[in-house]
Amino acid sequence: MNVLVINCGSSSIKFAVVTPDGAQHPVLFSGVAERLGEAGARLILTAPGSAAAAPLALPGADHWAACAALFAALRQYRAEVSIAAVGHRVVHGGTAFAQPVMIDDGVVAAIRGLIPLAPLHNPLNLLGIEICREVFPDLPQVAVFDTAFHQTLPPHAYRYAVPSAWYRDWGIRRYGFHGTAHRYLAERAQAWCGRPLNLITLHLGNGASACAIRQGVCVDTSMGYTPLEGLIMGSRSGDLDPAVVLLAARRLGIERAEQALLQDSGMRGLCGSSDLRDILQRAEEGEEAAALAVVAYCQRVRKYLGAFYAVLGTVDAVVFSGGVGENAAAVRWRVCEGLEELGIRLDAAANASPKGEVAPLHSAASRVQVLRIRANEELAIARSTALLVAALAPP
């Protein structure tokens, strides 16, 4: 079964045609439209075994324009490979969706109803769903939810210390996000090590989150009621004194304050950019604001790493993933530097040039393994989609 996977994020759209049970090369064709909304927006297409195509410039393209370019490329490719189902990443499933579900009008309405919990993401996830239902009306389509992996959080981890009526009547609680990625990292790390593990997974990109995983089960995570809580992100503030939110709401109004926290904060708020590649370059060139942003970003990750170490008690491995976690050696080094008393020691050469899908970065003296694992949310979504479609197929 070949599955088309659509992953609409806050600044990118990833897609892939995946054979979930393909042992060696499960991804047949893939692409990413990145830096959306910026002058450097572009579409990159990859077909294993073929020469890499030059990126297609999409200056200033939004998600609609990127989808049009993406599906034009896919239509050309479909002449060679049939697609049996479509799997969609959906950020927020609330408590209604703890497992992947077949998409129908009722599911679409439910996802739309959860937009207030993920205002940057659920509308974009719905965009991908709506376009695919129009372009591929005869294919089964499945929603795979980022929040599902975190349904194992214990009450003391997901409840906030607010009036009980807020939880009972409004559903105010920690939901957690990036669950598909964290589940994949946990499964991949355990398979690589050959035993159950206590893990701290760090999924670092334009959106970023940390997760404490005990023997494959999520017990705590950094994102909360929405994807705004936790680590400093590309344009999101992460942890913030609630009084700051109240002040901003009084002075700017609710809508403008919300926009500022979601789109104008984080790294962008600190130094004017949300792209860590550019920020690291500017920091190396001596720009003070960029250097401060890098230090603050890494310090927040270190803070959560230490907190989750305490939650787990013992840690077998720390896993870096995501666009930043996989590619920014300087960030990994800053996060781990000085944590020798926790048993974490990086090997400078391995960190500077990791090799393979799973790359060990720790030194021989490190009690805790440090791994860089390439995120493959598309494969995880394709597997979930194929399993559900097969389970619901007529005998």
Domain 194-373, CATH: 3.30.420.40
pLDDT of residue 79 exceeding 60, the answer is no
pLDDT of residue 9 exceeding 90, the answer is no
pLDDT for residue 22: 62
Q: Could you report the per-residue pLDDT of 111-139, keeping only the tens digit for each?
A: 999 998 878 789 989 988 988 898 889 99
Q: Do domains 3-145 and 194-373 have the same CATH topology?
A: yes
Catalytic residue among 105, 138, 146, 220: 146
pLDDT for residue 49: 63
Q: How many DSSP H helices and E strands does the chain contain? A: 15, 14
- Looking at per-residue confidence, does 212 or 114 come out higher? 212
Q: Are 257 and 248 a contacting pair, CB within 8 Å?
A: yes
Rounded CA separation 283/281 (Å) = 5
Rounded CA separation 153/219 (Å) = 5
For the chain, domain boundaries:
3-145, 194-373
CB 349: neighbour CB atoms within 10 A? 10
Tell me what the mean pLDDT of segment 291-309 comes to: 98
pLDDT for residue 45: 84
Question: CATH number of 3-145: 3.30.420.40, 3.40.50.1970, 3.40.710.10, 3.10.20.30?
Answer: 3.30.420.40
Rounded CA separation 281/288 (Å) = 12
- Looking at per-residue confidence, does 316 or 80 come out higher? 316
Q: Could you report the per-residue pLDDT of 347-389, keeping only the tens digit for each?
A: 999 999 999 999 999 999 999 999 999 988 888 999 999 999 9
Whether 146 is catalytic: yes
DSSP-assigned beta bridge partners for residue 26: none
The C-alpha torsion from 18 through 21 and 25 to 29, rounded to 10°, is: -10
| pLDDT range class, residue 38, cuts 50, 70, 90 | confident
Average per-residue pLDDT in the chain?
92
Give the CA diameter of the chain. Answer: 65
Rounded CA separation 190/216 (Å) = 8
Output the pTM of the full model: 0.87
Q: Which of 34-43, 90-99, 224-233 has the highest mean pLDDT?
A: 224-233
